[in-house]
Amino acid sequence: MAENPFDGGSRPTWCRGCGNFGILNALQRALNDAGLEPHEVIMITGIGQSGKTNDYMKITGLHGLHGRPLPVATGFKLANPKMKVIVGHGDGDGYGEGGNHFLHSVRRNIGIIDMVHNNQVYALTRGQFSPTTLEGVATPTSPPPSGVVERPLNALSLALSQACTFVARTATHDLRHMQKIMGEALKHRGYALLEVMQVCVTFNRRMDFDFYREHTYDLQEEGHDTGDHEAALAKAFEYPGGERIPIGIFYQDESVPAYEERVEVIREQSLVEQPIRARPQEDYRQLVEEFMV
C-alpha cells in the first residue's frame, strides 16, 4: 500500500488499544480519498487526547483553549474558505466547555467538520464524568454510591433541533464505516457534526470494542431516509437511552448555503487574497498616545 500523504510519521502516545488510533487512520484515508493535499487542510483541536490528532498528521494544525476550537476554526474558514477546516475535540471539550460555541456553529452553518470524539468521560484528566456519561456510572467525581445522577446530553438531537444541515455518528470499532462517514462529512457544504463513539480502554472499559459491535447498527443498511428531519430526530433519541446505538448519517441537507457563502466581503475574494491595507504610521502613534500613555 502506498504511503498516505497525510501520515505525519511520528508515533502516537495514546494508550494501547485507544480508539483514537482508528480515528487517526480513518481520517488520513478519508482525506486522501477526497483528493485533498496536506496544505489544503487545517485541523483545530481542543484540549484532551483527541487534541493530539493533528500532531500525528502532515497538515496545518493549531491547538485552541479548552472548549474553544470552534470559534478559532470559524475564523480560519472565514479568512480562507478554500481551506478544508476540521475540528477535533472530545465530548467534554465540545459539549461541556464548548457547548455555547457548538450551538452557534450549528445555527451559522459555517462550513467546517466538527468531529467530536465521544468516549463519555474526561479521559485526559483521569476519567471524571462528562456531559455524555450515562446515568448511574461511577466516576472519580460522581456522588457515591449512586454514580452520575444527571441525564446525558443528547447532542445529535440538540443539533437537529437547531436545523443542523449534517448530523452523523460513527464508532471506532469499524474503520471502514468511520472512513466512509468522514468522507461524506468532508463533502458537505456547511457545518457537519460528526460524533465518533470512541473506545477508552483506560477509563471507560465497560464500553469496549465488543460492546459497540453488539449494540450499534447502520442506519443506511436499514434504509433510513437522510432527508427526513422527523425521522432523523426519532433516530437521534434512540441513544442515549436505548440499547441500540444508531450509526451513519442521520440528516443531510445540501440546499442551505454555508455561512461563508453569505458574507459579501469574502464572496468574491477571501481575506487571505485581499491586499493588506496598512494604516499610516502616525495613526498608530496616535493610538499609542491615547490608550497606552
pLDDT at 190: 98
Residue 276 within a domain: no
What's the whole-model pTM score? 0.92
Domain of 208, CATH number, reads 3.40.50.970
SS3 19: coil
Q: Which three cell numbers stand for residue 51?
A: 487534541
Which residues of the chain register pLDDT less than 50?
1
Alpha carbon distances (Å) from 177 to 23, 88, 249, 289: 11, 18, 11, 59
pLDDT at 1: 47
Q: How many domains does the chain have?
A: 1
Instruction: Give the model confidence (pLDDT) of 97-119 as tens digits.
Output: 999 999 999 999 999 999 999 99
Residue 275 within a domain: no
164 vs 156: CA distance, rounded Å: 9
Cβ-proximal residues to 98 (8 Å cutoff; 6+ apart), any chain: 46, 67, 68, 69, 70, 89
Range(s) of the domain holding residue 186: 20-268
pLDDT at 2: 60
Q: Rounded to a whole number, what is the largest CA-CA distance in the chain?
A: 69
Is cis: bond before 240, omega within 30 of 0? Answer: yes
Residue 6 within a domain: no
Q: Name residue 248's beta-bridge partners.
A: 169
Residue 173 within a domain: yes
Residue 126 within a domain: yes
Residue 291 within a domain: no
